[in-house]
């Protein structure tokens, strides 16, 4: 039996409420399987479209650094705070195949929410809302299919807030140098 108290008991209770089971409608399971992956891909496509259409090189650099930082946080957590995935801890079968590695944080949700934070800092409300919603969908689906805990998503949100803010800070640091050296209609100083 899996021993839990306090926060872990809450984590399990929320997981039990949100998770699916093999007996659920096949269409629901099929949709959840797709939603466990596809929204993160769409978030990446939204970012790519934005970067290409705006030619925002500073944002591209900041986003790359933010995603790299989120991967470093994930690696650190993996090395120092192992937490079994729900199916590996005995909480039912996963409805998709996944390795029984560390569950915290969700790479998919962290990716989408990091982009949302960057868009928020840029005051691109529509993009931030779309990408944040995609992150919520992928978070729900990954819990539903039994490969993440609800608190994994809290960790993802915290990592995304920090890394997205870092990425936006990088954009702000590199953008003024570019803008002051190329003012339209003025010779370079």
- What pLDDT is recorded for position 189? 47
**Gap between the Cα atoms of 147 and 42, Å rounded:** 20
pLDDT at 21 over 90: yes
The answer to whether 33 and 24 are in contact (CB under 8 A) is: no
The per-residue pLDDT for 181 is: 46
Query: How does pLDDT run across 124-179, given as a tens digit for each residue?
Result: 999 999 999 999 999 999 999 999 999 999 999 999 999 999 999 999 998 765 55
pLDDT of residue 92: 87
Q: How buried is residue 141: exposed, middle or buried, by Cβ count under 10 Å (0-12/13-18/19+)?
A: buried
Residue 99: is its pLDDT beyond 80?
yes
Q: Is the pTM of this model over 0.75?
A: yes
Whether the predicted pLDDT of 27 surpasses 70: yes
Question: What does the pLDDT read at residue 180?
Answer: 45
- What average pLDDT does the segment 47-71 reach? 96
Q: How confident is the model at residue 1 (pLDDT cuts 50, 70, 90)?
A: very low
Given this model, what pLDDT does residue 29 score? 96
Contact at 8 Å (CB) between 2 and 89?
yes
pLDDT tens by residue, 147-162: 999 999 999 999 999 9
H helices within 81-149, ranges in order? 107-121, 125-144
- Are 147 and 32 in contact by the 8 Å Cβ rule? The answer is no
> How far is residue 148's CA from residue 132's CA, in Å, rounded to a whole number?
18
What does pLDDT average to over the chain? 91
């Amino acid at each position: 039996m899996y021993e839990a108290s306090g926060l872990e008991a809450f984590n399990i209770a929320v997981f039990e409420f949100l998770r699916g089971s093999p007996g659920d409608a096949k269409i629901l399971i099929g949709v959840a399987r797709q939603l466990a992956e596809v929204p993160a891909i769409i978030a990446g496509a939204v970012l790519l479209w934005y970067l290409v259409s705006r030619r925002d090189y500073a944002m591209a650099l900041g986003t790359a650094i933010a995603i790299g930082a989120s991967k470093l946080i994930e690696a650190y957590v993996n090395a120092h705070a192992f937490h079994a995935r729900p199916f590996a801890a005995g909480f039912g079968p996963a409805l998709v195949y996944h390795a029984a590695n560390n569950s915290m944080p969700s790479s998919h949700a962290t990716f989408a929410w990091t982009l949302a934070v960057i868009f928020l800092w840029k005051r691109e409300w529509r993009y931030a809302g779309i990408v944040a919603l995609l992150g919520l969908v992928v978070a729900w689906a990954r819990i539903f299919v039994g490969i993440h805990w609800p608190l994994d998503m809290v960790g993802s949100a915290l990592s995304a807030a920090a890394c997205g803010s870092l990425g936006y800070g990088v954009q702000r640091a590199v953008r003024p140098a570019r803008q002051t050296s190329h003012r339209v209609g003025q010779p370079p100083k």
